[in-house]
């Protein structure tokens, strides 16, 4: 069963703590992406990676970090520097020659209090 998994579905943290969100795909896709979704708004790109050991900042990278040590995995760390971290986080992947065809995971809802 091919797809993208994100865990956990819900995550709660205290302010000032770093937290890492998991994203794994078994679609053999080269490119992976992280988006943030706020209520009533569209998705905004945080980071993306087109190849292992390489990644680029998206529109709202401040306060976030990523790594891409394996093709299948693209974890996102929300650091304490992110001013407003409570949001719904979505991971996606695509074939490298079809970056327009992105497939999304089920999302992680992060609440920071």
Site residues for another protein per CB under 8 A: 4, 6, 9, 40-45, 48, 58, 90, 92, 99-107, 109
Taking the complex as a whole, how short is the minimal distance between the CB of residue 53 and another protein, in angstroms?
Answer: 18
Longest dimension (CA), the chain: 41
Taking the complex as a whole, how short is the minimal distance between the CB of residue 61 and another protein, in angstroms?
Answer: 13
Q: Which two tokens stand for residue 2?
A: 């091919």
Residue 72 or 80 with smaller CB distance to another protein? 72
Length of the chain: 113
Report which of 38, 16, 56, 39 is spatially closest to residue 47, judged by C-alpha positions. Answer: 56
């Amino acid at each position: 069963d091919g797809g993208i998994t994100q865990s956990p579905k819900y995550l709660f943290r205290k302010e000032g703590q770093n937290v890492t969100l998991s994203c794994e795909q078994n679609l053999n896709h080269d490119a992976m992406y992280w988006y943030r979704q706020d209520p009533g708004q569209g998705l905004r790109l945080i980071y993306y990676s087109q190849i292992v050991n390489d990644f680029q900042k998206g529109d709202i990278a401040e306060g976030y970090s990523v790594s891409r040590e394996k093709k299948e995995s693209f974890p996102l760390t929300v650091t304490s520097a992110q001013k407003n971290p409570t949001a719904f986080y979505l991971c996606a992947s695509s074939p490298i020659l079809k970056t327009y065809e992105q497939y999304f995971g089920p999302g992680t809802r992060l609440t920071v209090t």
